[in-house]
Amino acid sequence: MQTFSEKQIELTNRGFAVIDNIYTDDEINKILEAIQQADRSKETFRQSADLFAIRQFLKEFPELQPIIFNEKLNRIIHNIFGKDYFVVKSIYFDKPATSNWYVAYHQDLTISVDRKLELKNYGPWTTKQNQFAVQPPISILENNFTIRIHLDQTDENNGALRVIEGSHLKGVYRPEEIDWSVEKETICAVNKCGIILMKPLLLHSSARTTNQKKRRVIHIEFSNTELPDGLNWSEKN
């Protein structure tokens, strides 16, 4: 088993790191049961033939936080990132077994905030379902990290992330500028009960499902940076 320092180096150099066996089957089942029983008429729930998603997931399911932030996950966060990071965004994604949902290569360039303010080096802005998002200074994105919790076995056949290793080190990297003669695509297969750590600036995509199996993921973003001039993270936890 790799050490925390080895995973930290892997994340720093490659932009991602996979860690298995963070949850038990019982913990995963409790999470899925809570989602199944939820009221899906809420504004934060979005459902279509290709996608079921829940925005502000941790706010919608506060009772799941002790399960999600179990001893193993807390140890990873504290040893790799330190104790000053906090949750700033959480989403649940369910790519159904018959989904044709394809996500093209992109970086996660925006953060979710509580209001729109005219601030230097913040922009452009977008608003979706009363949720404000803005592209912040790149230093914030470079410092943030994401944890994706896998509730299903995930590989290239049911929408595992495809990433460009090391692309997070190149600043804002437009997909149309990818030089495929130089760049390497990696498929990030993750076992059920495992996680993937990733940097927001890592170029990543997701292919269509071809094996009729679900891909359910909880996506949680973290920062240790306070925002300026009365602007707040929408989900600071």
* 50 has pLDDT over 90: no
Residue 189's pLDDT is 96
Q: Is the peptide bond before 136 cis (omega within 30 degrees of 0)?
A: no
**CB-based contacts of 194, cutoff 8 Å, min separation 6:** 18, 19, 20, 21, 22, 150
* Nearest residue to 10 via CA among 158, 221, 166, 122: 166
* 219 has pLDDT over 60: yes
Whole-prediction pTM: 0.94
* Nearest residue to 89 via CA among 232, 202, 230: 232
3-state class (DSSP) for residue 13: helix
Q: Is residue 181 part of a domain?
A: yes
Q: What is the CATH number of the domain that holds 77?
A: 2.60.120.620
- For residues 47 and 102, which has the higher predicted lDDT (pLDDT)? 102
- For residues 24 and 213, which has the higher predicted lDDT (pLDDT)? 24
Rg (the chain; Cα; Å): 17
Q: Is residue 20 part of a domain?
A: yes
Residue 167 is given by DSSP the state G
Q: What is the mean pLDDT of residues 152-181?
A: 94
* 59 has pLDDT over 60: yes
Query: Are 75 and 21 spatial neighbours (Cβ–Cβ below 8 Å)?
Result: no
* 124 has pLDDT over 90: yes
How far from the centroid of its chain's Cα atoms is residue 108's Cα?
A: 9
Number of domains, the chain = 1
Q: What is the mean pLDDT of residues 2-26?
A: 96
Q: What is the mean pLDDT of residues 161-173?
A: 96
φ and ψ of 168, to 5 deg: -70, -15
- For residues 146 and 209, which has the higher predicted lDDT (pLDDT)? 146
Q: Is residue 52 part of a domain?
A: yes
Q: Is residue 120 part of a domain?
A: yes
In which domain, by residue range, is 73 found? 4-223
Residue 16's pLDDT is 98
